[in-house]
Amino acid sequence: MKVKKSDIRSQMSEDRSQMSVFCLLSSVLWFLASCNGGVSYLSGDKYIARVNDDIIAEYDFKKRLEGFHTVKDIKEKMKIDIDSVDYYKILNDMIDDKLIVQEAIKIGLDKTPEFTGDYKLYSLNLSLYMLKKEEVIDKIKVTDEEIKSRYITLYESVRLRHFFTKDRKKGERIIDEVNKNADFSNLVEKESEDSDEIKKKRGDVGFKRRSELPKEIADAAFAMKEGEISGLINTVHGFHIIKLEEKRAPDEKISDRERKRIERSIFNEKEIERSREYLLQLREKAKITINEDILKGIKRDEEFDGGKGIVAIVEGETIKRDEILVRLRSESEARDGDDMDRFKKSAIDSLINQRLLDREVGRRNYEKSEDFRYSLLLTKEAILNKIFKNKIIAAAIKLDDEEIRKYYDDNKGLFKEPEKVRMSTIIIKEKKDAERIVDELKKGADFDATAADISMTSVVSKGEDTGWLYADMLPPDIKEKLNEMEIGGIYGPFSFNRDFIIIKFIGREDGKPRDFESVRGGIIESLSKKKYEQLISDYLAKLRAVSKIRINEPAMKGYIKPKRGMVEQRMNMNDK
């Protein structure tokens, strides 16, 4: 995927808070963010391996390991055994990458337009990222007080009594009666136009968080005192009167996960606001002239004029009419009139911001930074690696219809629909109730009759036939028990969202074979992947056979414990 020149600019000028332009090279940006400056990776650093005339510095290797070890925090979830990591395999992968880059340069891929275009775009976007980091990201702080305040706003709740009507005059009369000390609960029960269920509860809707209420009602409710009755609240649905029965604060302790989520949310909001402020500062200091007549006269269906028309001048740099026209044509939702004027205003503002940011980037000379230059070195290798694999390896993969068909005929067992199962279910809110019901059912109680008897209390849904379901769509804990289930058996309770589900197993059906055409694309993908892996392996074997590769064993042993089975591999590599 090509990196768009405008992506980082647009994040500072169009309120996009997530950095998405570096999908291919995210590891490079991670490195840049982790640098503290002053490291000796460009000169004087010990090498971990020599690959022909190039080296893999110990610094590079440590950074690759640090990137890998970020999975430590989630190793339980991912079931990764960090202690079993094969560090020599990681080094081998780095050596392979270096060999591919050397080969790519040898055959001239670094001179292709594809490389030079991506490289220039990355260099520009890296400069813009560094500018954003200096002027936006590094200036944002999220305090504990802000996190706590947002947590309370999100999770505090109110218990309301609610009156609803579509008639304003009726609502005003109810307000008048309440002011004359009429009982609000009685008025709700007798005159509210809400559902019968709420009227039976005399308007008690239970505890609600801010996010669970219409904005107008939430704003009023959370500003009220306990026992207070509101005035008439107008929403798109009608007119409401609420009484605040009780306000409940959330748990005092915030979980680490929730704290991080709230902190990121606040950070993103501040990032958007700081970006706006910074762009406003740039614009206030800049000399900008806009020809409003030319801008207003641009129509989307007009022809390009070859860059003759000038819509604006930003510090001596022009913005052409054709640039606006390109953007208008890319906006499928743009219409004539106000819509078109709005899109043109957005386009000229974005282009002005681009010019100002480019100018600021040039003024700061980021290319003199050691971190910047090192990042570009990593980028060059990453782009060349990608281009080589696309142009040389992937392009060499050939498949014919006979080979694809043969793979299907030889592996029909792989191309079956998932197993289907059929069951009846009862969903219970409380686990203890679910366990009691399972015990009764296993002692012979009728499943459907039991479901019908309790459907008006704790049961969320009746015991109805679910029909045939694909087994692989079931929740994981139910799938794990499928092989043990027998027809007519009772199983559970299983966790199901926030409830508990009881199952009566009705039947199973083996998956039917899929026809050739429906799986042809998947076969092509699978065969292509296998051929790709074989081709890249063969190519690397040839490169290794003619290359001089040597590992600095003392450097490796300095921080990596040798593993069994690695001695022979290291000796073979050192003999190259």
Domain CATH code at residue 488: 3.10.50.40
Question: Which of these three, 460, 488, 509, is where a domain ends?
Answer: 509
Question: Is 238 part of a structural domain of the chain?
Answer: yes
Angle at 430 between CA 428 and CA 434, to 5 degrees: 55
Is 498 a domain residue? yes
Residue 385 vs residues 96, 113, 542: alpha-carbon distances, Å: 10, 15, 17
Same domain, 202 and 220: yes
Residue 190 in domain? yes
Contact between 237 and 187 (Cβ < 8 Å)? no
- 78 located within any domain: no
Domain boundary pick from 216, 248, 280:
248
Q: Does residue 38 fall inside a structural domain?
A: no
Same domain? For 489 and 555 the reply is: no
pLDDT at 15: 37
- Say which amino acid occupies 420: K
156, 248 contact by CB (below 8 A): yes
Contact 230, 220 (CB under 8 A): yes
Question: In angstroms, rounded to a whole number, what is the distance separating the alpha carbons of residues 32 and 372?
Answer: 8
114-135 pLDDT per residue, tens: 999 999 999 998 999 999 999 9
Q: Does a structural domain hold residue 25? A: no
Amino acid identity of residue 533, one-letter, is: E
Residue 311 burial by Cβ neighbours in a 10 Å radius (0-12, 13-18, 19+): buried
Whole domain around residue 238: which residue ranges?
157-248
Rounded to whole angstroms, how far apart are CA atoms 537 and 182? 85
Per-residue pLDDT tens digits for 268-321:
999 999 999 999 999 999 999 999 999 988 888 888 988 889 999 999 999 999
pLDDT band at 469 (very low <50, low <70, confident <90, very high): confident
pLDDT tens digits, residue range 203-220?
999 999 999 999 999 999
Q: How many domains does the chain have?
A: 3
- Look at 37-41, 181-185, 491-495, 550-554 and tell me which has the smallest mean pLDDT: 37-41
pLDDT at 340 over 50: yes
Tell me the whole-structure pTM to 2 decimals. 0.62
